[in-house]
Amino acid sequence: MAKIMPLEECSIDNHIDDHVDQEIQDCFSIDAPKCFFVFAGAGSGKTRSLINTLTFLDKERGESLLMNGKQIAVITYTNAACDEISKRLQYKPIFSVSTIHSFLWDLIKSYQADIKEWVTRSVQKEIEDLKQKQLKGRGGKAGEKRAEEIKKKAERLAKIKTVKKFSYNPNGDNVGYDSLSHSEVVKMSTEFIATEPTMQDILAAKYPILLIDESQDTKKELVDALLIVCEKYKERFIVGMFGDTMQRIYNDGKDNLANCIPDEWVKPVKVMNHRSANRIVALANSIRSTVDGQKQQARSDAEKGIVRFFIASTSDDKEDVEKKVAELMARDTGDIGWNDDTQYKSLILEHHMAASRFGFSDLYMPLNNSGKFDTSLRDGSITELSILSKIVSPLVTAYQSGNDFEVAKIVRKNSPLLNKEAFASELSDQTKMLEKAEAAVEALMRLWADEKIPSCLEVLKSIRDTGLFKVGSRVDELLTGFSQGENEKVTALRNALSVPFYELEKYSSYVTDNTRFATHQGVKGLEFPRVMVIMDDAQARGFLFSYEKLFGAKAQSDIDVKNKREGKDTSITRTARLFYVACTRAQKSLAVVAYTENVKSVKDTALSNCWFSEDEIYML
């Protein structure tokens, strides 16, 4: 068996990557501007280089750009990342920091006539495609579903003609015939950028410099469109991409991005991992060797670090297994942080696995299974859930703890019973308003009397009936019984909100990252001292990733074999990348837990790939 090799410890230069920032800055030369792609593996200081670049640009070009009404655009993956970058840049107006969806919408939202024409064409094509499938396809439920889809799209097409202005919310639900979906905005705007000279002129003039964080997961349509604009406007449009192809974990990213970057682009490489202990960096390099062979080195002052691999049966009690794993990690590391489940991060494959473990499954599953909420379910922005978690839950906590000041503060800030209009209408006797608001709060809190736990629907009914808070028009539908032809979102929400209120609070803790759980995908860019990576294909129910295949417990599918032969992504390469991302979140110690029915194959693969040594493996 091959031996796991330690990282080189001699003559490590912790400043070996310092040249990268200078290479980036040289790309902004007025005489010879260059586009660039920065290869930056896990823990390499990618965000630091991005901030250093932006600080340099502010100093060198900021005043000139602002005077000419131009900005530097920064596109990153999440709202949290946008907030962090904006904060570090002191919210200076020279920078436009946004997510992909926000950036694209800001670019096209003023061109309502073009939007209307594109949406009309798009919906017409969707109807034609469905009609063709209906002619060729079988009847039964599939046929009925297609017929219903055709009817809905025809209704939308008729209503589109009356729309004066289309709306779009990059961060939540988009309901109504005048609203655009996330996919429509991406498809439409990238098509405009790729094919419309006017839009290309607008983009290059407004944002002569565009920097993209996490470029490996940036929508492939946008990457393709930007490559077209870069080629056309070489002298006055600079695109800089920061990323790591090994950390591409979403399917809508560009395949083989590194190979698509033009030869004339500058391509600096960062080789340090400033985050993780030696042993964790060595593991990351071993995982990576199965995909692209790139290697990193740990800092000269990095800890030795500890990794352990735990193999358990799929039928075992997961909670007991993971508790035992934490106990063994505490023993092997001598780190009491593993004895406290708030001090380590458990990374699961799917959100519903966290829902099951943390106790909000009955709320989560109806919404997840409906397939109608997607991003808003994962980030907590569904309107009714947001009201309950951000306003009602803090109010209940404040009331039950006797904090009258906080109760008053929440009600004054959020209740229409105490807004300016209400005060204006009761100028003669404002005590009536206060009494009405107080009575509404008391009516709400009676739902918890005698240690009762109300359902989320009961809470919504109370605040709707008293007018304590605005709940939105959909609540009326939620509180009536199921009706034939009802909107699928309403049905799913009613089922989800029938749960006890404490499930909503658990869900809220999870989506605001106040639990020990997170998904393998959701922690990209983050780091934690102690990490437990949980690999459980049986619970994950997905098909894009398969740890069982990666660890040799299951054979490759015919599709995987075909894709590998054609140089395309397979479930094994996707899973290897995900495994790399999850493991490289750990700074000091890492526990990897595999649930399988093929224990021997999993262990043999772990050893033969040199991912773990015999003394690092536990059979549970």
Annotated binding site for ATP: 40-47
CA 62 to CA 289: how far, in whole Å?
Answer: 42
Residues tagged in the binding site annotation: 40-47
The token duo for 112 is 């309502």
**How far is residue 218's CA from residue 268's CA, in Å, rounded to a whole number?**
19
Q: What is the DSSP string of 35-93?
A: -EEEEE-TTS-HHHHHHHHHHHHHHHHHHHHHHTT--EEEEES-HHHHHHHHHHTTT-T
Q: For residue 163, give both structure tokens.
A: 């729309």
Q: Please check whether residue 457 is in contact with residue 477, taking contact to mean a CB–CB distance below 8 angstroms.
A: no
> Which amino acid type is present at position 491?
T
What tokens does 244 get?
């790591």
In Å, how far are 167, 521, 571 from 249, measured between CA atoms? 30, 7, 11
Instruction: Go through 353-368 and write b for each residue having 16 or more CB atoms within 10 A of its CB, e for each that does not.
Output: bbbbbbebbebbbbbb
CB atoms within 10 A of CB 42: 25
Half-sphere exposure of 573 (CA within 13 A, CB side): 19
Spatial separation of the C-alpha atoms in residues 331 and 74, rounded to whole Å: 45
Asked if 432 and 426 touch (Cβ cutoff 8 Å), the reply is yes
CB atoms near residue 317 (< 10 Å): 11
Q: Are 72 and 207 in contact (CB under 8 A)?
A: yes
DSSP state of 497: T
**∠ Cα 548 553 557 (to 5°):** 70
Report strand pairing: 306-313 vs 297-298.
unpaired
Tokens at 50, concatenated: 């991005």
Q: Parallel, antiparallel, or unpaired for β 306-313 and 617-619? A: parallel
- Classified as helix, coil or strand, 610 is coil
Angle among Cα 221, 195, 120 to the nearest 5 degrees reads 85
Distance between CA atoms of residues 562 and 568, nearest Å: 8
Distance of CA 502 to the CA centre of its chain: 25
CB 470 within 8 A of CB 391: no
CB under 8 Å to 111, separation ≥6 — which residues?
A: 192
Cα–Cα distances (Å) from 65 to 23, 58, 60, 61, 209, in that order, read 22, 9, 10, 6, 10
Closest residue by Cα to residue 305 from 282, 283, 279, 329: 279
